[in-house]
A and B are shown apart, each in its own frame.
Chain A
Amino acid sequence: MRRATLAAAIVGVTQGLFLAAATAAPQVSIAYGDAPAGDAALVHAHDILVKSQALEELNSFLTPLKFPTDLHIRADACGGALRRPYDRATKTVTICYEMIARVLDVAKAQTSASDQDRNQAILGTIVEALFHETAYALFDLFDVPIWGRIDDAADRLTAFVMMQFGEDNARTTILGSALFFDWSARTWTGKDFASAEAPEAQRFYNFLCIAYGGDPIAFDSLKTNGALPDYRSAQCAKEYQQVRKAFDLRLMPFIDADLLIKARARTW
């Protein structure tokens, strides 16, 4: 009898724990760290993200995902670095004000570019940076097998996601990112190629290829104007389908399909 009571108590406790766990569903938290007061460029970057509610938007965007644990997304000053790697231990994604400041700088330096192009590059690249850094967290939290360099994987997932929200959003984000890669391209030689990150020109083509492969009608001009050489554009449908398959197999099981439809129907 005593044993039965004990067993019942254990069951009760276990259920209680279970319920507690269930009620405290994992959450995405966002935060804007302070920019160093003396650094006008970083303060400006901070202000832009805050005013545009970049992290709030990103958070809404992630709503369909069923996270297994809490995820923290921070915008922060990174001590001069453009990027701070995703922290697997604390499940923290960081967007560096330095990166945002760099995007603004690069766009500003393009004096012969139209305002529209510059704005597209800024907006597209900020979205790209947010998605790219978040991709690392998704790979970790959902235990996604990564074949091919992880930084390229983050790019491909980013470009693929950019394609799921209508052709206008796709144009802004993908072509904007590509403009930035073009404008910021530097000459790579020798040991530069040891980097885990891809050269800007390579990223340029990777993004455009996912766009053309995913929607050869909306992005037809990429082929006709020669932005994508024929020998690459011929492969793009395959590249897009490959990412789509990886997404469907490894991320879709963690996405609420109904919420995803709502997200796709929303104006961003």
Chain B
Amino acid sequence: MVRPTLRLLALLAFALSLTAAEAAGSGSGGNSSSPAPGGGANPAAAGAPSPAASPAANADAALTNGKVKIAEVNGDGGYRLPKSDIYADTRAKMMKRQVLEEYVKFLAPLKLPKTIWVYVDECDGGDSASPFYSPANRALVMCYQFMKMMEDRAALIAQAEAKNPKLFPMKVNRDGFLAGVFAGVILHETGHALFDVLDVPIMGREEDAADEISTFVALQFQPALADIVVAAYSDVGETFDNPPTAAPDTKAADYPKDKTQQCFDDPFCAFADVHGTWGQRFYNTLCLMYGGNPTHYAFLKTGGWLPKDRDCPAEYALVRHAFAKTIYPFIDTDLMAKVQARAWFRSNELK
């Protein structure tokens, strides 16, 4: 469990904006007001689109992308029938929230040279299977297992927060957490897809780069949206582990037989993962958030959440530069403005 955890975290960590997709949902529009502490920057904008519900409906017509397709099989709308009944409820919720439909709308501004596909499935790998992007199929696959696991996590997080309110830098409710996690993760996977189809040069580690995409994209939206994403994954961070610090008891009855699992349990080998540790991803995200909006996220600095010896605005500038050079040329800016103005989250998620 240790390892899957790490991977999950990673996913979570990324989780920023897809929520947008989630959020967009049925266009019900509600945005309640800005929930964030320190949300003084632009509370109105945070919830902004809400009043614009009907104009938004018109604007939605423009939000299509012929190169981002929901991979349907037998009319399942891209929501595969799970093999196990335990995911039926998760599937129903995702369908109701129209997460895939929202995702396609969210990506409307992207001018992709090649088609990518997206769907939700009960993935291989058991109950800890994580979402992934497959370059071989150019498909982004979200896994029911992952969202179910996050539903379970939400309860643990609530308990931990009740015990120690200072455990997390930001608060988010259960619905917001789930929306934020979904958004962050699908944006992270979208990063992998973009690196692939846009042939983006990646000088650093790709998993961190995908995290940067997720966080950077979220930060281009009203603070309320970005807030949900960062809050969601900081919460997750507190519930997942960094690599172990002590050598495992290799004679213990529960010592894993699987070599990969053994590696995850080893204090040195655990660092072989292509993902950063949860702690790294957590601080990377907070650093970019602060670097991108030092006013709105001033509390991260005053609250001691940021590393003192790190120049977060410079780090944000680096990501912005990379985005401008390698991704921005593939974006339709008129459509981007529409996407930025839309209310992607629902009122129950923003509370």
| A229/B322 in contact, CB under 8 A | no
Interface of chain A, helix or strand or loop or mixed?
helix
| A152/B208 in contact, CB under 8 A | yes
A87 to chain B, nearest CB (A): 13
**Chain A residues with CB below 8 A from B260, complex form:** 229-231
Given contacts A145-B322, A147-B322, A229-B260, contact A246 B203 (CB under 8 A): yes
Given contacts A149-B284, A187-B267, contact A250 B201 (CB under 8 A): yes
Q: Tell me the nearest residue of chain A to B305, going by C-beta.
A: A194
**Chain B residues with CB below 8 A from A202, complex form:** 271, 276
A155 to chain B, nearest CB (A): 9
- The answer for the CA separation of A148 and B208 in the assembled complex, in Å, is 5
| A145/B307 in contact, CB under 8 A | no
Partner of B204, one of A153, A187, A191, A231: A153
Residue A175 is within 8 A (CB to CB) of chain B in the complex: no
**Chain B residues with CB below 8 A from A230, complex form:** 259-260
- Write out, one digit per residue, whether chain A residues 194-213 have a CB within 8 A of any chain B CB (1) or not (0): 11101101101110000000
- The answer for the CA separation of A156 and B270 in the assembled complex, in Å, is 19
- The answer for the CA separation of A139 and B207 in the assembled complex, in Å, is 20
List A residues 143-171 near B (Cβ within 8 Å). Answer: 143-150, 152-153, 156-157
A-B contact count (CB 8 A): 135
Given contacts A145-B321, A147-B203, A150-B318, contact A193 B279 (CB under 8 A): yes
The size of the chain B interface, using a CB distance under 8 A, is: 47
| A145/B201 in contact, CB under 8 A | yes
| B203/A153 in contact, CB under 8 A | yes
| B203/A193 in contact, CB under 8 A | no
Residue B272 is within 8 A (CB to CB) of chain A in the complex: yes
- The answer for the CA separation of A184 and B202 in the assembled complex, in Å, is 28
- Write out, one digit per residue, whether chain A residues 228-245 have a CB within 8 A of any chain B CB (1) or not (0): 111110010001001101
- The answer for the CA separation of A230 and B273 in the assembled complex, in Å, is 11
| B242/A157 in contact, CB under 8 A | no
A196 to chain B, nearest CB (A): 5
- The answer for the CA separation of A190 and B206 in the assembled complex, in Å, is 23
**Chain A residues with CB below 8 A from B344, complex form:** none
Partner of A206, one of B205, B242, B268, B319: B205
Hey, which bits of chain B sit against chain A, CB under 8 A? 195, 199-209, 212, 242-243, 245, 259-260, 263, 267-274, 276-280, 282-284, 287, 306-307, 309-310, 315, 318-319, 321-322, 325-326
Given contacts A147-B202, A201-B268, A231-B263, 7 further A-B contacts (CB under 8 A): A147-B200, A148-B209, A193-B242, A198-B280, A201-B270, A205-B271, A230-B260
Interface pairs (5), CB distance under 8 Å: A143-B325, A145-B321, A147-B212, A147-B322, A194-B279
